[in-house]
Chains A and B, each alone.
Chain A
Amino acid sequence: MLQVSQVNDDAINLYIDVLKMFAHPTVHVFNTFFFSCLHDGFTKVASWHKNLCHPVFMYMERIVMPIHLRSQNHWAVVSIDFKRCIVMYLDSIFWLRNFKFIKMIVAKYLADLAAHESCSFDLEAWTFVGSEETSPQQTGVIDCGVFVMANLHNCAGIQPWKGSSTIPVNMIPYWNQFFHLAGLQLSSSLMKDSWLDAESSCHGSQSNTVDAGEQSAMEMKFSSISVDSPPLLPIVTLPAPTVPPTPAVPPTPASLHSCCPSHSASLHSLSLPLLLSLPLLLSLPLPPSHHPSFSCCPSCSCHSSLTHRSSLTCHSSLTHCFLPHLLFLPHPLFPPTPIVPPTPIVPPTPIIPPTHVVPPAPVIPLVPITPPAPVTPPAVAALTAAVASPHQVTPPASITPPTPIAPIAANK
């Protein structure tokens, strides 16, 4: 019995909250209500721009907004690239009529925004890109929510995974809801399509928006979250093996079932890798045999969570098998902290394993996002090099390096 459900605003906004923690300061992702408010007029959303770098046209790299089309019960994404003057419409069910409608509203928004900030604006200089090529097309009936999350992820240009992190404890109820909803999204169309192809097409061959650095950053992200297993297909490597940087305490029975909201109080922190790769994870073609690191599921003694997942019998296969491994590991060293804004000055964490030492990028507002320097295109090679000699990975000069790293590396 396959239980299916549509994605609501809570799930997508939660995902956006997490993306914003990792996105570059010059990339802003609005929540799902932005476009509905914008439809009522720019004055309704003028105050939403308070936290952005001003003037937006000069200092912002990109603004990404999810779009909810209420009449069609549909989600889509618009990415506004201020550097290249490109508006990209990413819709998993492309319909020209929708594109024209969005185009009209976004053009008006840009004009209003320019007037609001007393900037000059020339609509002729802008290119509106929207076709079936800009986003992978869904074949299922109810999958657009997950496609939107993956498109948001790609548009936000998330930097490589930075290692251990925690999520404030007060977000956990929303997490649970998110996974409850996202766990229901598995469907045949997603299992067939591979986001590996989708990612490159998503950023568009038409505009060549993806440079080699960004792609290598993407690869780095997915290879760096898996160290124990050889990352042959970068996405297929699941994030589980690297998650326990701290002494891996086996999850207690209480925390195993913490995927349901009633038990969430026992959780202290969550690790992030799964969330950032969740849409990708959901869309993977399944490997032929079960993954060695997933050979047992502590909660229901099934042999492989992957085969469990492939059976699609219930959404709890996702929450049961993945989440205890990936998300609900106790983090005694990382107490819950408030949401850290994506500033480059990261407070030094007590312990960062040497494999995760990826320097955060410095804030250069006028330069397009580039991945940190040590990430070279053969991501796996870079990763192994980083493992072998962590001292080569030096953070940029503007960032004060977390002091505890050196002694730990020396001990290793």
Chain B
Amino acid sequence: MPDVKPDIKERKPATQDESEVPDGKVQITVILGEQTFKYAVKPTTAFKKVFETTEKQVAASPGTLRFHYNGQRLRPQQTLEEIEAELDEPVEFHAQLEQIGGA
């Protein structure tokens, strides 16, 4: 996979175990509707990479997806350390499409 960033690798669900996450990295799951994407991310890596990769996967234009962790909106500059994610439990990010309304 040539376009995968060095420290963020896409992982196929159900083919790899939790134990295969490299040392010092945390597996996070991004859930967008029915789709899930799993990444191994360093706690100090900004989420920007995760967001961009996910947007690339679903062919969404940049900035149109919203990511949440436990109801907290994630910003591209934040890291796992910054949001104080509980690493004992699986880290799940929920992605949503932009909401717009006026009618």
Interface residues of A (CB under 8 A from B): 5-9, 13, 30-34, 36-37, 44-45, 47-48, 50, 68-70, 72-75, 93, 141-145
Instruction: Give the residue of B66, B70, B99, B103 whose beta carbon is less than 8 angstroms from that of A141.
Output: B103
Q: How far is the CB of B59 from chain A (nearest CB, A)?
A: 19
**A-B contact list, 8 entries, CB within 8 Å:** A6-B100, A7-B102, A30-B71, A37-B94, A47-B71, A74-B101, A144-B102, A145-B101
**Cβ contacts under 8 Å, B99 to chain A:** 8-9, 32-33, 36, 68, 70
Give me 10 other A-B pairs in contact (C-beta within 8 A), A31-B73, A74-B101 excluded. Answer: A7-B101, A8-B100, A9-B100, A33-B71, A68-B99, A74-B103, A141-B102, A142-B102, A144-B102, A145-B101
Q: How far is the CB of B41 from chain A (nearest CB, A)?
A: 19
* Residue B68 at the chain A interface, CB threshold 8 Å: yes
Q: Are B70 and A48 in contact (CB under 8 A)?
A: yes
**How many angstroms between the C-alpha atoms of A47 and B86 in the bound complex?**
12
Beta-carbon nearest neighbor of A143 in chain B? B102
**Cβ contacts under 8 Å, A73 to chain B:** 100-103
Q: List 8 A-B pairs, minimum CB-CB distance, nearest first.
A: A6-B102, A142-B102, A48-B71, A9-B99, A68-B99, A8-B100, A75-B101, A47-B70
Identify the interface centre among B70, B98, B101: most chain A CB within 10 Å of its CB: B101
Interface residues of B (CB under 8 A from A): 66, 68, 70-71, 73, 94, 96, 98-103
**Cβ contacts under 8 Å, B71 to chain A:** 30-31, 33-34, 45, 47-48
**How many angstroms between the C-alpha atoms of A398 and B68 in the bound complex?**
36
Q: How far is the CB of A164 from chain B (nearest CB, A)?
A: 27
Q: Are A68 and B101 in contact (CB under 8 A)?
A: yes
Q: Are B101 and A144 in contact (CB under 8 A)?
A: yes
A37-B94, A47-B70, A47-B71 in contact; A144/B100 too (CB < 8 A)?
A: no
**Cβ contacts under 8 Å, B70 to chain A:** 47-48, 50
Beta-carbon nearest neighbor of A184 in chain B? B102
Beta-carbon nearest neighbor of A45 in chain B? B71
Q: Are B98 and A9 in contact (CB under 8 A)?
A: yes
**How many angstroms between the C-alpha atoms of A75 and B73 in the bound complex?**
19
**How many angstroms between the C-alpha atoms of A93 and B99 in the bound complex?**
18
Q: How far is the CB of A282 from chain B (nearest CB, A)?
A: 14
Q: How far is the CB of B98 from chain A (nearest CB, A)?
A: 6
Identify the interface centre among A37, A93, A143: most chain B CB within 10 Å of its CB: A37
Instruction: Give the residue of A9, A74, A145 whose beta carbon is less than 8 angstroms from that of B66.
Output: A9
Q: Are B66 and A33 in contact (CB under 8 A)?
A: yes
Beta-carbon nearest neighbor of B68 in chain A? A33
Beta-carbon nearest neighbor of B96 in chain A? A33
**How many angstroms between the C-alpha atoms of A31 and B69 in the bound complex?**
12
**Cβ contacts under 8 Å, A141 to chain B:** 102-103
Instruction: Give the residue of B73, B96, B98, B103 whose beta carbon is less than 8 angstroms from that of A144.
Output: B103
Beta-carbon nearest neighbor of B34 in chain A? A40
Q: How far is the CB of A190 from chain B (nearest CB, A)?
A: 12
**How many angstroms between the C-alpha atoms of A309 and B66 in the bound complex?**
33
**Cβ contacts under 8 Å, B68 to chain A:** 33, 37
